[in-house]
Structure 1
């Protein structure tokens, strides 16, 4: 059976990406990173539920504490406030330096260990927070680098099935494929009730509104 390493953050996008991998007939190897993010415990809880839902054969929960040491992001440095005033232009302070590059490098190591042919990552370029490491051409370049830096017999394809979708399309597709959205988390700063005002909450709420659906998770506020 063909194998895929799926990077699953616990969010809606990566949950849908993993579901697509399952429906494409892959044996799922689920991979999650604890990197000192503000909502680390909640994301880990959601990862475990999503991994169970896609019948992952193996789970990896990898700790990356150095992201807190590096800082430079509102997600990992509590001295930097998470923006709550609305989605801004440019790269926001919630960007974690080279996070997806590091995630993909570790995912490649896991894939090589298991002789997996594919990596799945739920990056979204068109309707995202403006992170440079979510761009399609960047992921394609990472694929080339990974295959240059692994064994000759290793050939890994990185699939990003959501990269060109809008958040509303992600919501609709998730509902159509019975992705457990109630078990996903997008909020950047709260683990009990989603704040509803950070960039990620706003994008998620906007997606549900445009899809004509109600988000199954609870919010302290709901502003789009």
Structure 2
């Protein structure tokens, strides 16, 4: 029986690379995507479908979560809160979605138990996480302990976070090494036709490509401060 990894995949560069790395380790990838009424929901779903078709996943799940919009409190799900465009600031930014990764991991754990998987893959990056508390290594480790306490004794899941200590330029380099289709990935928080180039996520991505000395293949409305 093939060993399986349930990979949480947003359609972004980080989670895509994490899935490719686990596939290289011999895992059959079970891909999970969440639609949670985020601003770029349709583009992220389009990216997820294109990436998983290229990756060759064993099974895919597209999970709709409508309660994040009801909760609000994040610029990603509440249209009354503007997505910041002035650069990354200290502290937890308004683009943080309350306990998002905890909820994603809980659902992924249920899928992993059903699928007989041994690993959950997530593309969290601690250093370049924009200050999100649910991207910290210690938090993911705590979630792993909680998941294993709340599932069957024989389940024994490992939450793999292969990117957690990498810088963005290292992620770009690793993505090229694993032949990740970067042109299919999407990182922008606010726009779907062309990436805005000025939100925190775009800034981190563009900086990573710049430091890696590689052009970013996706379209931008503003790139390096130029329209």
Moved segments of 4+, more than 4 Å: none
Query: 1:135 corresponds to which residue?
Result: 136
Query: 1:116 corresponds to which residue?
Result: 117
Shift of the alpha carbon at 1:194? 0.3
1:67 aligns with 2:64: no
Shift of the alpha carbon at 1:154? 1.0
Give SS of 1:15's match: helix
The CA RMSD over aligned residues, in Å, is 0.7
1:150 aligns with 2:120: no
Shift of the alpha carbon at 1:128? 2.0
Where do 5+ consecutive residues of structure 2 fail to align?
none
Shift of the alpha carbon at 1:126? 1.1
What TM-score results when the alignment is normalised by the length of structure 1? 0.99
1:74-223 alignment to 2 at 5 Å? 74-223=75-224
- Return the alpha-carbon distance in structure 2 between the equivalents of residues 174 and 33 of structure 1: 22
Query: 1:11 corresponds to which residue?
Result: 12
- Return the alpha-carbon distance in structure 2 between the equivalents of residues 214 and 170 of structure 1: 14
- Residues 157-200 of structure 1: per-residue CA shift (max 9 Å, x gap): 00000000000000011011110000000000000010000000
Where do 5+ consecutive residues of structure 1 fail to align?
none
- The answer as to whether partners of 1:128 and 1:203 remain within 8 angstroms in 2 is no
- The answer as to whether partners of 1:82 and 1:94 remain within 8 angstroms in 2 is yes
Query: 2:38 corresponds to which residue?
Result: 37
Give SS of 2:63's match: strand
Query: 2:3 corresponds to which residue?
Result: 2
- Return the alpha-carbon distance in structure 2 between the equivalents of residues 194 and 136 of structure 1: 28
